Chains A and B, each alone.
Chain A
Amino acid sequence: MKNISEKPATTKKEDRKTSIMQTALKLFSTEGFYTTTMPAIAKTLGMSVGNFYNYFSSKDQLAKELMLYISTVLGDKLREINMTDVSVKEKVTMIVHMYFSIARERPELIEYFLRVFLSNREIFTKECTGMVCVSGFVTELMLFFDEGVQSGELKDQDFFSALGLFMGYLGGMVFLNGEEVLTKPLNEYETAIAENIYNALRKQ
């Protein structure tokens, strides 16, 4: 697996790739995934279309690498939290905070995940089956849950029922926020949400 953020982007080519991905993410979130074409991305970056294809041979490939990139960014943050020596309860708060901060600071990352990855599964069938493209993030969540159960704080249950509860909740809040239906800024919900999640996952 290519792990984009773990290897420092030393080479020019890597730098360029990252900046292409950032631009593509922005365009996808403002213009929509299907309407944004490869030449349009190249044009925004001031690159020739031919040169652009040296970096990503197809839109499918770009789409997949973007998901890997996002999963790695989130996975790295989660890993830091996992490595912190605090209670599982505090970690839940930290994860909620981390997720909402990213949603605020780099909304295109979360949006891509919610609007493109989850709703256009057909583009990802080939090389992104199952959890391959989100494994960086999912692995860290597994470690978090595993530690929670081992320490006796969390209830032992099926992984997906816990994952759905946690990520579905966070994703839903970000979605509502994006639709501007929330009455308060997202971060003001953090404490209540963290508490709800913890109570739902906690060993009774």
Chain B
Amino acid sequence: MMTRKWIERIEGEASIGFEFEENKVSFASIAFPHFRGMEAILQSKPAMDALVIAPRVCGICGHSHLFAAVRAIESVYANSGFPLEISPKAQILRELTLSLELIQNHFKWLYMVIYPELSHLLQRPIADSCRLKGAYAASLATKVLAIFAGQWPHSSYMIPGGVTCDPTYVDTVRAMGILDELMRWFEKEVTGISMEEYLSISSAKDLSHVSGDMRDIDKMLRTAKMHKQGFSYDRYMVLGNHGFSNPSKYMHRRMAKVNPQLVMLEDPYTVDEKTYAKNALYQNNAFETGPLARAVTNGVPFIKHLHRYFRDSTYTRIMARSYETALLLDHCKTLLQSLRLDEPSFIEPSKKITSLSEEGVGIVEAPRGPLIHKVTLNKGIVDHYTLITPTQWNLSCGSPQTQGPAQKAMIGADSIETATFTFRSFDVCSVCTTH
């Protein structure tokens, strides 16, 4: 018998059907009921308009969609024989604002989803103001982002050939100041230790130095036995190429190169509920994407250590995302310091986009993993647009034989509540999954 449950507060809703055997979840099927048809909206539009439309796929990771869209268009240029030159300055700015979007996402997820849900699970309610911490930290990150991108959400400042902004050192100094403030806040509230110290921890033992909210979360996760459940395939996929990621796959405890052309989409398995989410697979295999995947393939010592002991448990997954926040903050600082403002922001493409009829693919690492935009242009007009979002990997819904990572991770949970918590450890985004 299947028990259906609505999962809310995941950038929309999902409906999960649970099957139980001996009081443990034996199968869970995931359905996303909302659909907006973003790909159809993009169709027949001038290519540049995709830079305005694509961010509206998602309110929390729209900047990643912008980046993927601009890379897709730039790839059309390259495939047409006119590769564009992007100045180091524009590349740094793009990576900086993308990283900041990841940071705001992770803060919201940690404080507005994981912390309260975990407290709820253990019946240890936390103060309302605790959730606001997530919004506060996120708003500092987006403030830095907006100095360069004009606004968050829904900036369109990346364009084929670079970025539209032309910052001065007054802007970067201001950005640095806000970033410093965010890092100090992080030290005070999240870890209770200095950024440097936190970034140098390499084992679970070192966590005993941590004293902020992270310590509380760590303790609660262990109390809830999250290090002993939530296991999935232990297979990871990273496709976006950035300073903080290393495109590769991890399978059978080994890393290997990836070829994005082998990514495939499949119809979901449904039992009794309509779902609009297509499954993303690589050579017929399901892979987990996101911060844990990035940390494992990038060899982040602390996460590698946790992974060795607790594999891909819910605990490891949550720790990986939280820890990535610190890594990214540090990365942002390095990026800001390396900016050379005398370089051009934008180098005009030598060809008009209206003369191009080609395909292009843009891939970035979004908060939840690889985000792929594929576009086919006909004289600069979108003929076809395909979006493959990270949640289509993690939350894919297969049959009991072909389960997706989140489905598999929920197996064995002793209640719907714990299963749902594991589901949330993947940082679920309903709007991206179905688009």
* In-complex A–B contact (CB below 8 Å): no
Residues of A within 8 A of B (CB): none
